[in-house]
Structure 1
Amino acid sequence: MRHIVCLVFLSVPVFSWGLNTAYVSFQHPEGWQCELSQGVWICQSNIPDDRKEAVILSIAAEATKWDTLENYETYLKKPRRIADDTGRGVLSKIVYTRKRTINGYEWVDSLQQNSELPGFWARYLATVYKTKTSNLAILITYIVSNERYSTISPALERMIASLKPRADFDINVASKQGEEVLPGNTVLGQMQKSIASRLKPPTPVDQIEQKPTGKGVDTGLIVALIAIGGAYVYIRRRRKLQEKVRSGKNLTPPAA
């Protein structure tokens, strides 16, 4: 069975403003905090108005045969069509998708616009990290609104430059954390089913030469994208609510 790795927050951070999980460490923007929700780290600003404008998400899973840098690059090079709030289709814009080395480790790095939410930028960093006990698929994603991209992106670029997988990662230890109730909200769990069909293409690996085999084998990065998609939807709902409240309408907040 493939493990979605539920990550351990260590007591001593690597940076003054950073996240140090069981599998990766990075420096998030100053004044942000991170929360673990069902195996996904969600990092956001402590300022309420900024929380709806940007988010960093971090997830890891035991790698399958599909999980290779080549497959990640192929998948992330394909534009995606999503629906806006009126149901109108919006085609994503891929600025670049390329391999790059960060602190001695090779990642696939992709910057896209409108790939998850209309009016938002998304940056994907994906790698397969080989440890003594297993191969680990890691996905770090940030999403930022068009309005705040120019001001927030420099801090997020520093975050990317600080990415470093943990050499002492042990999936046999980390995966056991999934047997316990995780701290944080349950947004991802509630939203995952509703957004799965939109995020997962009908034939995600048809044109990929290296295909997974066997029953119940996951399609790697796609599973991670589905898992984090609920957070994007939640941010959009909160943002729309904030705008309506500012307009003077009396509204009941959407259920989390």
Structure 2
Amino acid sequence: MPDRWDCVRENTEWVCKSTVVANTKEAIIILTAKEIGPEDSLAAYESHLKTPRMVPDAQGRPQKSVIKSVVSRKIAQHTWLDGLQLGSEIPSYYTRYLATVKSRLAILVTFSAHQRYFTKYSGDFFKAVNSLRIVANSDLLNPSATSSLELGGSEQIGPGQVPGFGSPLQVPDLDTLPSEPSGAPRNQQLLFLIGIIIAVAGIFIFLKRK
């Protein structure tokens, strides 16, 4: 994570926000992981990310999210599902989903920014995405009880329930998807946070079994 981002743990998630802007509602990054369930697979995630979601607007009227892209990509020799939608969590916000499974864990990282400011944060998002590394210790994990990871579901990051967001900013709609820079250096803090998440999840599973 770039130095200008600060991450704190909120329940089962790590929530990261920029520290250089007064309005932290512009963008947010959330990392979460839990033990995989029968519905956790790359194929299931791909199907989910290719399905538009209905999210209420400020007046409570349901609005369908706009799917911009869904691709499978290799990051550090590991396969992730990478999806981008507009309005899938909060109206007028782009959300990029990076989801994968490994060593009995389902891992989800989301990058959300208001559509007016997406280009402003796309460089930071690009760096964070390309720094994703999974370090899992199999001794901490146990294939006991299972529960699936919700991509945008209410247990994790449901509509309007993304930790750290209040009411969405009211700005005009934009129809174009901002571009991202072509390259960025590795980042070690995000790797560290994912390692912590995996370790915490493994310890929780171990204690639950005891």
TM-score by length of 2: 0.71
- The one-letter code of the counterpart of 1:237 is S
Partner of residue 156, structure 2: 227
- Note the C-alpha offset of 1:236: 3.1
- Note the C-alpha offset of 1:238: 7.6
Write the mapping of 1:48-67 to structure 2, written as runs, cut at 5 A: 48-67=21-40
- Note the C-alpha offset of 1:222: 4.4
Q: Name the CA distance, whole Å, in 2 between partners of 1:168 and 1:217.
A: 18
Pairing 1:85–2:58 present: yes
Q: Name the CA distance, whole Å, in 1 between partners of 2:139 and 2:12.
A: 15
- The one-letter code of the counterpart of 2:150 is L
- The one-letter code of the counterpart of 1:232 is V
Partner of residue 88, structure 2: 115
Report % sequence identity: 32
Describe the shift of the 1:80–1:56 C-alpha distance in structure 2 as closer, same or farther (beyond 3 A): same
Alpha-carbon deviations, 1:134-153, whole Å to 9, x = none? Answer: x1100000110011101111
Q: Name the CA distance, whole Å, in 2 between partners of 1:39 and 1:115.
A: 21
Alpha-carbon deviations, 1:78-127, whole Å to 9, x = none? Answer: 00111111122221111111211101000000011010111100000000
Partner of residue 164, structure 1: 133
Contact 2:50 2:67 in 1 (8 A): yes
Q: For structure 2, which runs of at least 5 residues remain unmatched after alignment?
A: 171-210
Q: Name the CA distance, whole Å, in 1 between partners of 2:90 and 2:38.
A: 29
Write the mapping of 1:1-256 to structure 2, written as runs, cut at 5 A: 28-130=1-103, 135-168=104-137, 170-172=139-141, 218-222=147-151, 226-229=155-158, 232=162, 234-237=164-167
**Which structure has the greater CA radius of gyration?**
1
TM-score by length of 1: 0.59
Contact 2:69 2:85 in 1 (8 A): yes
Partner of residue 189, structure 1: none
How many residue pairs get aligned? The number is: 167
Deviates more, 1:28-37 or 1:161-170: 161-170
Q: Name the CA distance, whole Å, in 2 between partners of 1:129 and 1:168.
A: 11
Q: Name the CA distance, whole Å, in 1 between partners of 2:140 and 2:82.
A: 24
- Note the C-alpha offset of 1:234: 4.6
Greater fraction helix: 1
Secondary structure class of the residue paired with 2:43:
helix
Partner of residue 185, structure 2: none
Q: For structure 1, which runs of at least 5 residues remain unmatched after alignment?
A: 1-27, 174-215, 241-256
